[in-house]
Amino acid sequence: MRENDLTGYPPKLEGPDRPMVRFANVTKSYGSLTVLDSLDLDVAEGEMVTIIGPSGSGKTTVLRMLMTLETINGGVIYVDGDPLTHMPQGDRLVPANRRHVRQIRSKIGMCFQQFNLFPHMTALENCMEGPVHVLGMPKKDAQERAEELLAMVGMADKRDQHPSRLSGGQQQRVAIARALAMRPKVMLFDEVTSALDPEVIGEVTNVIRKLVSEHNLTMLMVTHQMGFARDISDRICFFYGGRIEEQGTPDELFNHPQKERTQQFLRAVKEAV
Amino acid sequence: MLDWRWDFTLDILPRLLVATGNTLLAAGLGYAIAIVLGLVLALAQRTPSRAFTMIVREMVEFIRSTPLVLQIFFVFYVAPQFGIRLSPWTAGMIAIGLHYAAYLSEVYRGGLDSVPKGQWEAATSLNLSTARTYFRVIIPQAMPPSLAGMGNYLVGILKDTPMLSVIGVAELMHTANAIGSETYRFLEPYTMVGVIFLALSLPTAAAIRLFEAWLRRKLGMI
Amino acid sequence: MSYLEFLSQYGDRILSGTLVTIVLTILSALLAMAIALAAGLMRMSRNFFVRAGATVYIEIFRGTSLLVQLYWIFFVLPLFGITLEKFTAGFVAVGMNLGAYGAELVRGAILSVPKGQWEAAQAINMTPTKRMLRIILPQALLIMLPSWGNLLIELLKGTALVALIAVADLMFQVKQINGTTFMSAESFGTALVIYYILARFMITPFMRWLERFMQRKLGRA
């Protein structure tokens, strides 16, 4: 990225109204294929934002960029006021080094479609790995915290099982506990119910509902569960062709969609059910 | 026609058994070197630098496609040219360890590649450092799929130790040669060396298969 | 003595050693393929004794060292009245050893030909022999060719051991040269490079070509 691309971006976002997450003019492309086109998106502290849209609309890429699993080709991402993809040097921004990325990234946790639990560690060990070896927490404290979280997701009795002995729903609940154990300020849920059998989807969505009602986490979610998204989201963003086509409260977007494409998408989803 | 002498066989057996100890020691030491060095060679091919990766790759190819016996001579005779005197054992262990490190690096490479991408992503999402990710997450998962290949090469290194006799390491083959030139009897010592190798390698191969099955269960994998 | 002088003085011997190594490699490769095919098919025979014979052969030659086998064939076989000239003993030992490894490749490849092919051959009433020769083996050949590439490199490396029974191959020549000149880096280093060139720039490309050729011939390209 050329440095003069970055002149307009502040090295730090300040003030009480600053968003927890800001995508400022973010572009992502693979060769000539543009996946995200100048995305601007703010997520306020404690807000639950759900991203919906057809496959290939770039919605998962939004989460993956925020987790630094994908690099970006233009723009800046801010987390909790600090740039994530860049770092301040004097009054300018330069591409971030690994240390800076690690520092800012520690505020973000993520759950994946395929769970991605570590198969050679028990549920408890999965939840202790990060706190002990990244945050440097004493083992005893980490275990206490991991046990609390496993209890919260209803997996306390499976703490010594390896992932291969757990069902998909159980693995996903452990994965949520594992992400929470890092005390993130922002949680990302990337199609966390897509790989699950229909009858166990509820046990995972219930855990997320509980998180929304009992914790002040900022959350970004990509899902195909429209009913669930409508119930718990503060805001819904409809992605189409790498841009936000329309966004609003669940009521606005689901009951009074303004754009033609939004209406088409919602109709198609309804027919599929 | 067969002039097999049991009394002579019994006479030379103690010497052969002592030499078997050396053979096992050589195989064990060489393998220990190869296990560690092989991992280094495998990881060295995963750095962001393409040029460095290519150089290491070609080095591994070079070691794999040239004869071990020649490498043993090379290490043993060339080092003194540069003022480093190596004992036969040291030279032998360097050569055989390096040779099998090249083979094992290929095995590890396959194992490392077989770890799903999601594991890397999960490690990133927990902010684990690269080193931590390798040693706690990736390498433990790369090991079980590598075990079959690792086991094959353990048997392989055992069977290649006779080549160390060419620089005077007193393992089985060397001892059998010595007995042969002292007594002019070759039938018993060479046959016994063959029998001892069979007795070592067949059970080892079987044990490795059992160990592999056990470890897979133990790690909670399929 | 500079390296160029070294080469001009000993180049001829190194070259003649290289030729011996190439001839040895070709002869033992042919022997190894014949043995591999025979032992591999015998391993799958319905007759217990045929199967057992092949298994014992394979286990003995895979379970002991090539060097041990070479010495045994060269020094011990004469006691049974079978005296092989050292060159013959050399390629026979290498061929028999690698043939045992090849037998497992043959067996594995035959087993991995899809079951439907066996059934289809039976459905058009082929005899088992015809089925094996005309339907199964050509497909198995294609499956095992890549592994044979690795095996042939092992075989080339294996031929270096015949220097130890004084066959005048590349290894033997450079060992002699080293003995008179003490130029170890030059002599052994040159041999290493030559073996590398033979393996990487002759055997490997040849096997790649053979793979493509067979694929075209079997209509898979």
- For residue C206, give how far its alpha carbon lies from the nearest alpha carbon of chain B (Å): 15
pLDDT band for position A8 (cuts 50, 70, 90) = confident
Residue C158: list chain B partners with CB under 8 A.
67
pLDDT of residue C140: 93
pLDDT of residue B210: 87
Asked if the structure places residue C78 within a domain, the reply is yes
Asked if the structure places residue C10 within a domain, the reply is no
Spatial separation of the C-alpha atoms in residues A111 and A127, rounded to whole Å: 13
Domain that holds residue C29: 19-167
Asked whether the predicted pLDDT for residue A2 surpasses 50, the reply is: no
In total, chain C counts a number of residues equal to 221
Helix (H) or strand (E) holding C206: helix C204-217
pLDDT of residue C172: 96
pLDDT of residue A264: 94
Domains in chain B, number? 1
Helix (H) or strand (E) holding A210: helix A201-214
Asked if the structure places residue B29 within a domain, the reply is yes
pLDDT of residue C80: 87
pLDDT of residue B219: 63
Top mean pLDDT of A4-8, A214-218, B213-217 is at A214-218
Number of separate helices (H) and strands (E) present in chain B: 9, 0
Q: Whose structure tokens read 């014992």? A: C56
- List, edge to edge, every strand of the sheet that includes A243-248: A108-111, A186-190, A218-222, A48-52, A235-240, A243-248
C208-219 pLDDT, tens digit each: 999 999 888 887
C180 inside 8 A of chain B by CB: no
pLDDT of residue A22: 96
Which whole number is the average pLDDT over C19-46?
Answer: 96
Q: Are B165 and B171 in contact (CB under 8 A)?
A: yes
Asked if the structure places residue C61 within a domain, the reply is yes
Q: What are phi and psi of A73, to 5 degrees?
A: -100, -10
CATH number of the domain within which C119 lies? 1.10.3720.10
ipTM of the complex: 0.92
Instruction: Flag whether A touches C (3+ CB pairs, 8 A cutoff).
Output: no
Which whole number is the average pLDDT over A256-271?
Answer: 92
pLDDT of residue A252: 95
pLDDT of residue C124: 87
C69 inside 8 A of chain B by CB: yes
Q: Which chain A residue has its CA at the smallest distance from B215's CA? A: A120
Which whole number is the average pLDDT over B80-85?
Answer: 89
SS3 C47: coil
pLDDT of residue C125: 86
Spatial separation of the C-alpha atoms in residues B159 and B5, rounded to whole Å: 26
Q: Under CATH, what is the fold of the domain A3-44+51-105+223-272?
A: Rossmann fold (3.40.50)
Asked whether the predicted pLDDT for residue A57 surpasses 90, the reply is: no
pLDDT of residue B7: 92
CB-CB under 8 Å, C67 with B163: yes
Which DSSP letter does residue A191 get?
S
A129 inside 8 A of chain B by CB: yes
C76 inside 8 A of chain B by CB: yes
C142-174 pLDDT, tens digit each: 999 999 999 999 999 999 999 999 999 999 999
The domains of chain A are located at 3-44+51-105+223-272, 117-183
For C166: left if phi > 0, alpha if psi spans -120 to 50, otherwise beta; the answer is left
pLDDT band for position B2 (cuts 50, 70, 90) = low
Residue A102: list chain B partners with CB under 8 A.
127, 129
CATH number of the domain within which B85 lies? 1.10.3720.10
pLDDT of residue B148: 82
More confident residue, B208 or A67: A67
Q: Are C155 and C32 in contact (CB under 8 A)?
A: yes
Asked whether the predicted pLDDT for residue A169 surpasses 60, the reply is: yes
pLDDT of residue C221: 53
- For residue C168, give how far its alpha carbon lies from the nearest alpha carbon of chain B (Å): 15
Asked if the structure places residue B1 within a domain, the reply is no
pLDDT band for position A5 (cuts 50, 70, 90) = low
The model's pTM is 0.86
pLDDT of residue C128: 87
Domain that holds residue B155: 6-218
First vs last Cα of chain A: how many Å apart? 44
pLDDT band for position C73 (cuts 50, 70, 90) = very high
Short-list C169, C160, C134, C204, CA closest to C18: C169
pLDDT of residue A153: 95
The pLDDT > 70 percentage for chain B reads 97
Dihedral, A35, A38, A44, A47 alpha carbons, nearest 10? -30
A108-138 pLDDT, tens digit each: 999 999 999 999 899 999 999 999 999 999 9
B136 inside 8 A of chain A by CB: yes
pLDDT of residue B221: 54
Residue B70: list chain C partners with CB under 8 A.
160, 171, 174, 188, 191-192, 195
pLDDT band for position A234 (cuts 50, 70, 90) = very high
Domains in chain C, number? 1
Asked whether the predicted pLDDT for residue C29 surpasses 70, the reply is: yes
Which whole number is the average pLDDT over A61-65?
Answer: 95
How many angstroms separate the Cα of C164 from the Cα of each of A14, A177, B163, B167, C79? 79, 65, 10, 12, 20
Asked whether the predicted pLDDT for residue A273 surpasses 80, the reply is: no
- For residue B120, give how far its alpha carbon lies from the nearest alpha carbon of chain C (Å): 31
Asked whether the predicted pLDDT for residue B222 surpasses 50, the reply is: no
pLDDT of residue A4: 44
C194-203 pLDDT, tens digit each: 999 999 999 9
Q: Whose structure tokens read 């060489």? A: B30
Task: Mark out chain B residues that contact chain C at CB-CB < 8 A.
Answer: 1-3, 61-62, 64-71, 73-74, 77-78, 80-81, 159-163, 165-166, 173, 176-177, 180, 186-187, 190-191, 193-194, 197-198, 201-202, 205
* Residue type (1 letter), C12: D
**Exposure string (b/e) for C100-120, b if CB count within 10 Å is 16 or more?**
bbbbbbbbebbeebeeeebee
Q: Are A22 and A83 in contact (CB under 8 A)?
A: no
pLDDT of residue B220: 56
CB-CB under 8 Å, B201 with C63: yes
pLDDT of residue C102: 96
B29 inside 8 A of chain A by CB: no
B53-77 pLDDT, tens digit each: 999 999 999 999 999 999 999 999 9
The pLDDT > 70 percentage for chain C reads 99
Asked if the structure places residue C202 within a domain, the reply is no
Asked whether the predicted pLDDT for residue C74 surpasses 90, the reply is: yes
